[in-house]
Structure 1
Amino acid sequence: MEPSADVEFLVWDLTGPAPADGFDLLVPPYMGRPDALTALDGVTVRLVQSQSIGYDGVADVLPSGCVFANAAGVHETSTAELALGMMIASQRGIPDFVRNQASGTWGYGQRPSLADRRVLLVGYGGVGKAIGARLLSFEALVMRMASRERDDEHGRIYGIDSLYEQLPLNEIVVVSVPLSEQTRGLVDARFLEAMPDGALLVNVARGPVVDTDALLRETSSGRLRAALDVTDPEPLPADHPLWAVPGVLITPHVGGASSAMFPRMVRLIQKQISLLMAGEEPVNVVLGRESMAG
């Protein structure tokens, strides 16, 4: 960000003493642990602006009186791009081709397309919408699912209560729900068993949304495939059996980690600064809104 005559910038990684008694806006390090926010005890902060969309665990450690905003609008583009890339790679066998290249093997064969596949989006927030919009240009058949059933200009959005009716009908299932008590372990043995043989699970949500042991059983048998940007545990230990399962593609939680992140994060911070200086309520507030109102 370019310095402004009206804004003083201080650098603090939430370790060691705070460089000031208070801040109008504080931006914690990207991908930091929520418990780092305990450093704000005794520090006056008008707004904590996260660099992530998810904020699981933050409410447990955020000091009383702090207002917390997430980075909705920053990561959707990058995460949707990665999700599409993982779907294409998994469908078209690109990991196999990379391995064949190392040995000089010409492994010709027909692979399933992304076109004409029925894709169920479990979670239709910002990331789900961005993935859905891109899938349409690949001529996929997109089914959308959110917490409640409703219609919009594009048709029906199914409610989560119809999950087990929809799972057997879709060849690719993309999970992009936030982590909560309701979604923790959502993708369990029953969920996976309801998916048709050969189906692909894509997880760009949070690792604990998926029961890792149940997923390992289904993928190790070869019945299901998976593309995972997040895992449980995370980082996935080097000796974890999931690494070696054929048909499983793993990326190390890099959905938002692209060149598209920085300019979008800068624009969000600039907007928040402008709103705070104008005495207006910031955007993306997900915790502590009552403190802002007071």
Structure 2
Amino acid sequence: MTADVWLPIPPDEIEGLPQGPAYRFWDGAEEFPADPADCVFYVVPYMKPSDIGVRPMPHMSSLRVVQTLSAGTDHVEPGLRHLSPGVRLCNARGVHEASTAELALTLVLASLRGIPGFVRAQDRGEWQGGFHPALADKNVLIVGYGSIGAAIEDRLAPFELARVARVARSRRTTARGPVLPLTDLPSLLPEADVVVLSTPLTEATRGLVNADFLARMKDGALLVNVARGPVVDTKALLTELDSGRLTAALDVTDPEPLPPGHPLWHAPGVLISPHVGGPTSAFLPRAKRLLTDQLRRFVNQEPLANVILTTGAASA
């Protein structure tokens, strides 16, 4: 038996990997690179369907660590039931903050300033001016204030906002101000001009943005989702979009990928990007640094970073 590490990036392209393990490249191909039973550290292929990432997990009897290259871990959690107790699940905190926050800001500005309409007018060769909202003086509500939510606020800071409100699972204080619990949403939503979703997908957040949530948003407000599609009730959102009361900018949808002919494609006031918050030129160098650091910790038997849960533990 060997102590294998499965990587979705060719190991010879990652500088500084510690010596000791046998590194195997697997990015979701039909054939496994080695016996899954020998894998002790599994880095889940990035941007692959959930069934691909989970496929080897029932056979990984020696596994000690599951490392995602995404901020969310919901796509691999179905496979955890096949693993022995004590396996640590780690996410990619520190990898996606810059690129996802950039996209969130892009979606906000593009939606408010009417960029999609300008592009369509350009395609028709039409000069189409008009009055559009600015981000300045707006109230922004960030729902999900982890590292990505904080990075979004960092990029919003220069835009002369009237106020930023922050919401997460539990109340706490940050350098920028208080973070309020999800239970405070009913009182915060009516004041927000822009609501940005950057929360993980959990049982508590699945369908969080339902008809009641949307009804509490003020007329003309913008909903931006860079979290996960199922955080939003698509049917309820379509009702609000079709009425013209709200607008939306969505990097993630439910279903996803959004199939041809789905009503979201043509709903009024919606801007859709195809889940591109993470895959940018910023991804690979940060992913490689994370893997090098995590594997150094693992080989040296030091505490791992970004541990979300441990199988068999009460928190799981």
TM-score of the aligned structures, taking structure 2 as reference length: 0.87
- Unmatched 5+ stretches in structure 1: none
Match of 1:52 in 2: 70
- 1:247-286 CA distance string (max 9 Å, x none): 1000111110111011000000000111112111221122
Match of 2:5 in 1: none
Paired residue type of 2:99: S
Aligned partner of 1:19 among 11, 34, 57? 34
Instruction: Say whether the 8 Å CA contact 1:34–1:61 is kept in structure 2.
Output: no
Contact residue 222 and residue 246 of structure 2 kept, 8 A: yes
Q: Secondary structure at the match of 1:9?
A: strand
8 Å CA contact 2:140, 2:165 repeated in 1? yes
Q: Is 1:235 aligned to 2:265, yes or no?
A: no
In 1: Cα distance, 2:184 partner to 2:148 partner = 21
Spell out the pairing of 1:202-217 with structure 2 (5 A cutoff). 202-217=224-239
CA distance in 1, matches of 2:38, 2:144: 37
Q: How does 1:137-156 map to 2 (within 5 A)?
A: 137-140=158-161, 141-156=163-178
Q: How far apart, CA to CA, are the structure 2 residues paired with 1:3 and 1:149? A: 39
SS state at 1:41 partner: helix
Letter in 2 for 1:19: A
The match for 1:6 is 19
1:64 aligns with 2:83: yes
Paired residue for 1:197, among 219, 223, 242? 219
Q: Which residue among 153, 157, 168 is the counterpart of 1:132?
A: 153
Match of residue 253 from structure 1: 275
- 2:78 aligned partner, one-letter code: D
Q: Classify the secondary structure of the residue corresponding to 1:217.
A: helix
Contact 2:141/2:164 (<8 A) preserved: yes
Q: Moved runs in structure 1, 4+ residues, more than 6 A?
A: none
Q: 1:41 aligns with which of 29, 41, 58?
A: 58
Per-residue deviation at 1:111? 0.7
What TM-score do you get using the length of structure 1 for normalisation?
A: 0.93
Q: Structure 2: how far apart are the matches of 1:18 and 1:117?
A: 52
8 A contact 2:17–2:296 mirrored in 1: no
Q: C-alpha separation between the residues in 2 aligned to 1:98 and 1:267?
A: 38
Counterpart code for 2:31: G
Aligned partners of 1:165, 1:275: CA distance in 2, in Å? 44
Structure 2 residue runs without a partner (length 5+): 1-13
Deviation at 1:183, TM superposition (A): 0.8
Return the alpha-carbon distance in structure 2 between the equivalents of residues 17 and 289 of structure 1.
24
CA contact (8 A) 1:59 1:287 kept: no
Alpha carbons of structure 1 residues 290 and 178: separation in structure 2 relative to 1, 3 Å: same
| Percent of residue pairs identical | 49
Letter of the 1:10 counterpart: R
- The 8 Å contact of residues 12 and 19 in structure 1, kept in 2 or not, is answered as no
**Distance in 1 (alpha carbons) for counterparts of 2:251 and 2:137:** 24
Q: Is the Cα contact below 8 Å between 2:92 and 2:306 reproduced in 1?
A: yes
Which range is displaced more, 96-105 or 15-24?
Answer: 15-24
Map Cα deviations across residues 50-85 of structure 1 (whole Å, 9 max, x no partner): 111111153332232233211111111111000000
Counterpart Cα distance in 2 of 1:77 and 1:182: 26
Match of 1:224 in 2: 246
1:199-229 CA-to-partner distances (Å, cap 9, x unmatched) read: 1000111111101011001011111000000
1:50 and 1:160 mapped to 2: Cα distance? 26
1:263 aligns with 2:285: yes
Of residues 45-54 and 203-212 in structure 1, the stretch that sits farther from structure 2 once superposed is 45-54
Aligned pair in 2 of structure 1 residues 13, 257: CA closer, same or farther (>3 Å)?
closer
